[in-house]
Homo-oligomer: A and B are copies of this chain.
Amino acid sequence: MEVDFSKIEYIAFDADDTLWVNETYFREAEEAFASLLEGYETKNKIDQELFKKEMDNLALYGYGVKGFMLSMIESAMEISNGRVSLEVLDKIIGIGKKMINHPVELLDGVEEVLKTLSPKYHVMVVTKGDLLDQERKLEKSGLAQYFHHVEVLSEKKETNYSNLLEHLRIPAEKFLMIGNSLKSDVLPIVNIGAQAIHIPFHTTWQHEMVQGDHASDTYLSLDSIRGVLKYL
């Protein structure tokens, strides 16, 4: 695609799986969860039931580890037909606490990119999920110094972005979003007249998958975050 970023003044980075590893820990947690319940169901069925529970609870709990913990607990009780032991439930809580306490692993090239861009643009983080958890990850990441603003949203739909730009008084044509999720970081952004760069992460949560083909003449897709330096 022909990209023109000459009007861009504000660059927002998604956090999870754009700046640092996240989805991998959820996959590992799901593996551990399935192992704990292997006496009751096949791994496939356990995965499906947990995902279904997460989706049922999403409107209630939102994104983040605490809601995931509660969904694991509820699923374990159902998958086992009320036979799961308290020891297993205790281990499930342990899986969640380990996730919250996990060290932050930056993705390759992130610090170099932020160091280069932060003196030239208004650089910010726009992420969704649990407020405390995201603030804690940002602090642990050592990246906080590069960001002029940090915004944690409860959802990343068009209206959330429109409200954010209005609130920060940023014209859409000056705004560029960089992230790993087509559904959350790219398509809604393009739809409100701003620009987006898609940098896929090797693992995508089922809930973030997008059906069908998407014309990439409306956004740039790159293999690695380092690639943005060729354009910005």
**Interface residues, chain A, CB within 8 Å of chain B?**
60-62, 66-67, 69-70, 73-74, 77, 82, 84, 86-87, 89-90, 93, 96-97, 100-101, 130-133, 135, 149, 152-154, 167
Contact of A154 among B87, B90, B96, B132 (CB under 8 A): B132
Nearest 6 interchain pairs by C-beta: A62-B132, A66-B66, A132-B154, A131-B131, A131-B154, A82-B86
Chain B, Cβ-Cβ closest to A135: B154
- Note all chain B residues with C-beta closer than 8 A to A154: 131-132, 135
- Which secondary structure characterizes the binding site on chain A? helix
- Note all chain B residues with C-beta closer than 8 A to A74: 93
- Note all chain B residues with C-beta closer than 8 A to A82: 86-87
- Note all chain B residues with C-beta closer than 8 A to A97: 60
Contact of A93 among B73, B100, B152 (CB under 8 A): B73
User: What's the Cα separation between A180 and B153 when bound, in Å?
Assistant: 26
Q: Which of A86, A87, A90 has most B Cβ within 10 Å?
A: A86
- Note all chain B residues with C-beta closer than 8 A to A133: 62
